[in-house]
Structures are given as C-alpha cells and as structure tokens.
Amino acid sequence: MQSVIDRFIRYIKIDTESARESDTYPSTLKQFDLAKLLESELKELGLTDAATDEFGYVTATLPASAGKEGIPVVGFLAHMDTSPDFSGKDVKPQFVEDYDGGTLVLNEEKDIRMSPEEFPDLKKYIGKTLITTDGTTLLGADDKAGVAEIMAAVEYLLEHPEIKHGPIKIGFTPDEEVGSGVDHINVEAFGADFAYTVDGGEAGEVQYENFNAAGAELTIHGRNVHPGKAKLKMRNALLIGMELNELLPVFERPEFTEKYEGFFHLFLFNGTVEEATMTYIIRDHDRDKFEQKKDLIKKAVDFINIKYSAKVIDLKLDDQYYNMREMVQPHPEIMAVAIQAVKDVGLEPIIEPIRGGTDGSRLSYMGLPTPNLFTGGHYYHGKFEFIPVFAMHKAVETLVRIGELVAQK
C-alpha cells in the first residue's frame, strides 16, 4: 500500500492548477504534464490502451479476470487539476507521524499554525500519520489523492490475480475545479455501465447527492464625477454592488450554512466607481429552493435598477450542474455496492450530501450514474488541507473491494 503514498507525493509536485478565465481546454496546458505521466504509468502497468486525448482526458481499461468478461463495467474517475483558489505550485508536503492532538506548526517562519480548536477534524486522527502542507500552498489531495488511489488500486489488482474482477475503466479528467471537467468527455466511448468518482472527503464517505449550482455574473455601471463636484451626480458602482449584496440573506452565506442548507457566495468583487463586477455562485440541494434563490437575485437586480431609474446592473445567470440524486436513485445497487465495500474494509459508511459538485454530477445526467467516494482529505482548497495516510490506504482497499463485489453479483 506504500504505492499510493509514493504516487500521491509524486503527483502533487506537478502544478496542475486550472483557471476560470481561459480560452483553452484544458484551461491550463500544464495539466497535460500530469496527464502524460499518468498515461505512461498506466502503460507501464500493462494497460495497453492507455491514452491521453486532445482535451487532456486520460483513459484506460483494466481487463477482466478470466471468466468475468461479460459482467457490468465499472468506472473509476478522478480529476487532475487543483483549485485556482490557492496556489498549487511548488507543493512541499510534510509528514506528521503519530499526531498528538496538539497545534500543528505548518510554517515556523511565517507563523502558520493549525489548531484542533479551529480545525476540529484533526481530533479524529490522534495517533495517525498526517500529510499536511508547509503553509504556502494547498496540498492537492483534491483530487490527486483520488488519482493516486485509483492508480494504486489498479496496481494492486494486477499484483493479486486471485482477486476476481470484471472490466474496469479508468478516467482522469482536467478542469473539474472550474466546472468544465466533463465538457468534452465521450461517455459512450468511455464504456462503463456505472462509475464512481473518487473525489470526496473523510474516510467512509459515499455520496449520491450534491448541490444544484448556478453562477451569477453582475456588471454594475456607475458614473464617475470628481468627488468635489459629485453631489447628485456620482453613481458609485462599488457602493451599488454592496447595496445589492445586502439584499441577499445574510444567513444564506457559506460561512453560516451546513448539511442541506444552500447559499449565495460572493467570491469575486472588482472595479472602480465607474464600473464594477461581482461574481456569485448559488447552491442548493433542493431544486425548488435552488430556483427560488435564482429568482431572488433576479429580483434584487430588478429592485436596484428600478431604484436608480436606469439599468445600472446587468445580470448573467447560468446553471452549472444539478443534483445527481435524481439520476442515481433509480440504480440503488450502485450505492449498495459502495456501502458494502466501505463496511468490508472496516469503515463506517458516511452518507452525507456533497456540499459542492463533482464530475459525477454531470456524468450522471449524461447517462453514466456516478456516485462519489472518499479520498480521505480535509479542508480542501487552502493551506490547511491535510490527509491521513491510513485513509488513503482505506480508499485503495475500497476500490479493490468494489471491483471484487461487482464480479460476485
């Protein structure tokens, strides 16, 4: 099982940060660096059809054990990019062995510390070995842990032919973090009957629900006048943006929500008095509440425009993805296999909604039911990201067991 750790460390040192504003696919060409490495490693393992296409998708097939060729084909997928929310360049992982439950010093020089009071998930791993950042980058467990775990599971199955399994399709995608991870994937050519993304969090998670998601881009048209002569003439785009934000419910922001509670998240606000832009993401698991949230931001924009007797705000509102529950629930056997596999490796299944999205959400609506499995990581997209080593081992065991269970059906 050491293979998964070695792979993980190798992969996170390759910068694959994606970009929201880009006219290429993938959004950053450096994602091909990891794609080509994975293709090469898959071929070294003996998966002769391993290939990277023009869009950066890496695919391969682990052939079935003798006599298991005709059973349903399962797919395992993970994404190669890391979030543009925080730097993924020059990642320097640190190992904390036998964690004692105290405050972790990630970076003495910069005084970056991580206490269990602020990050309570740490308390679950006293006595375990953790992999952390050095406080200057994210770690990349989202989702290079998933990539490493799939690769290690393939390697393990090849080394243990006594474990019988059917055909297994492998897929590594770019640009998941910017919402376009499966824009160009060919589901029919991929060839799986059902699949799992390995892109979750805590060990034991098995997820089939995620947010419905939309993106809102607002352009605010102000009027700049010399402040000494501005009375009843200036129209400050920045202040209008703040006014718009105050029309949205305070307690429907990410910092005040959990579980099935949706939110409006303002994550970008740029501009001047003359013109400003605001970017929101809108999320809710419930489709009706999701539509209500979209309607609310439209009404807020209309209110501001009426107030100023002019179209001072232009709104562009686009749906991004939907809750996969609707597509996965008709296939309960897919969740049942994953839950049984988690139990079989000695973990308690955690069935909770994803407070985000995965490639599996869109894949499910493209005809490939794709729940999500844990990687083991915590606090993604920032310098406090960490992953316990034992959880990565358990993820590999879970994937191996899924392959075995599918072959027993």
- Give the count of beta carbons closer than 10 Å to the beta carbon of residue 24: 12
Is 2-209+323-408 assigned to CATH 3.40.1260.10?
no
Active site residue 183: no
Q: What is the pTM of this model?
A: 0.90
E runs forming strands in 46-204: 51-52, 58-62, 74-79, 94-96, 104-107, 112-114, 130-132, 168-173, 194-198
The fold of the 214-321 domain, in CATH, is Alpha-Beta Plaits (3.30.70)
* Annotated domain spans of the chain: 2-209+323-408, 214-321
Per-residue pLDDT of the chain (409 residues; tens, 9 = 90+): 689 999 999 999 999 999 988 999 999 999 999 999 999 999 999 999 999 999 999 999 999 999 999 999 999 999 999 999 999 999 999 999 999 999 999 999 999 999 999 999 999 999 999 999 999 999 999 999 999 999 999 999 999 999 999 999 999 999 999 989 999 999 999 999 999 999 999 999 999 999 999 999 999 999 999 999 999 999 999 999 999 999 999 999 999 999 999 999 999 999 999 999 999 999 999 999 999 999 999 999 999 999 999 999 999 999 999 999 999 999 999 999 999 999 999 999 999 999 988 899 999 999 999 999 999 999 999 999 999 999 999 999 999 999 999 999 7
Q: How far apart are the first and last CA of the chain?
A: 27
> How far apart, in whole angstroms, are the C-alpha atoms of residue 93 and residue 107?
11
Q: DSSP class of residue 233?
A: T
Query: If residue 267 lies in a helix (H) or strand (E), which one and from where to where?
Result: strand 263-271
- Give the count of beta carbons closer than 10 Å to the beta carbon of residue 391: 26
Q: For residues 125 and 99, is the Cβ–Cβ distance under 8 A?
A: yes
Which of helix, strand or coil describes residue 103? coil
Strand partners, 192: none
- Give the count of beta carbons closer than 10 Å to the beta carbon of residue 250: 10
The token pair that represents 22 in the structure block: 């880009």
In this prediction, residue 27 carries a pLDDT of 97
For the chain, the farthest-separated pair of C-alpha atoms sits apart, in whole angstroms, at: 84
In this prediction, residue 179 carries a pLDDT of 87
Active site residue 188: no
Taken in order 226, 231, 236, 242, the sign of the CA dihedral is positive
Choosing from 81, 142, 175, 199, the catalytic residue is 81
Q: For residues 376 and 396, is the Cβ–Cβ distance under 8 A?
A: no
